[in-house]
Amino acid sequence: MNADSDRRRGFAITALTFVLWGLVPLYWHLLKAVPAPQIIAHRIVWSALLVVGWLLLSSRLRWWRDIARQPRALATLAVTSLAIAFNWGLYIWAVNAGHVIETSLGYFINPLVNVLLGVLVLKERLRALQWLAVALAGAGVAWLTFDAGTPPWIALGLAASFGLYGLLRKIVAVDPVAGLGVESVYLFLPAMAFVAWAENGHGGGFVHGWGLRDDLLLVLGGVVTALPLIGFAYGVKRIPLSLVGILQYIAPSLQLLLGVWFFHEPFDAARAAGFAVIWAGLLLFVGDGLRRSAPA
């Protein structure tokens, strides 16, 4: 596969990943009867079993040995596992607590974090129109923050944790699925211990309390978790981080629509104006990218 084809595939998979993440509040909303900490623990347990099971079947322990030879990679993946666990926890709690629109704001801020990291850490370069697009998006986020009247802690926490995760997964030289497997190993035992504690008379209801539907949704949450992360890890290594940052506007745009039209959260004219400025920046950035990539 040549470099252009590899980049196109990375672009397509990354875009699809963000579509899935944009729609995932609908899935977690189905589990609103289950306490958020237990959703998170089950999410980690089942996604770990899925990913590690697949790796063991496909390559036995070679995936672990390859990464274990790189102490720096092991340390980096320990940090990324904590970053993604924090992101998952905050996100699920926010969705089921009625803050879907604020989670969308977090993922609108996150691309700006990625663009900034791409320029400052990875020395990626932006063209003039791309800088203008980023400035428009930044102005929209600033207006939304001002309009809220208080710091948007949920949004900032989501943006910072996923921005750190994306940067570290960009620079660590490991196979995307194997890296997710190592992250899963780090998180599995603490999550399993929490599930066991909850089932021992501390509010757990798996199999014996929440019902078959919720039990199946918790198990399938491993698939919902693992597949987009694999896609993200695959795509982020094949396209510039600044482009990843712009593609991430897909997810919060869908989350915003869900927050307004499905969850019926308030969305007044001031909020709409801020989001409109962000979308203008997104369209400018994408339009410039398409113009540059079009054949002469």
Q: Which residues, 6 or more positions from 125, have their beta carbon under 8 angstroms from its beta carbon?
A: 119
Q: Give 88-136 pLDDT, tens digit per residue.
A: 999 999 998 889 998 988 887 777 777 778 888 888 887 788 788 888 8
**Which amino acid is residue 260, in one-letter code?**
V
Residues of the chain with pLDDT under 50: 296
Predicted pLDDT at 105:
85
What is the CB-side half-sphere exposure of residue 210 using CA atoms within 13 A? Answer: 21
What are the extents of the domains in the chain? Answer: 3-293
pTM: 0.81
Residue 24 · residue 259 · CB < 8 Å: no
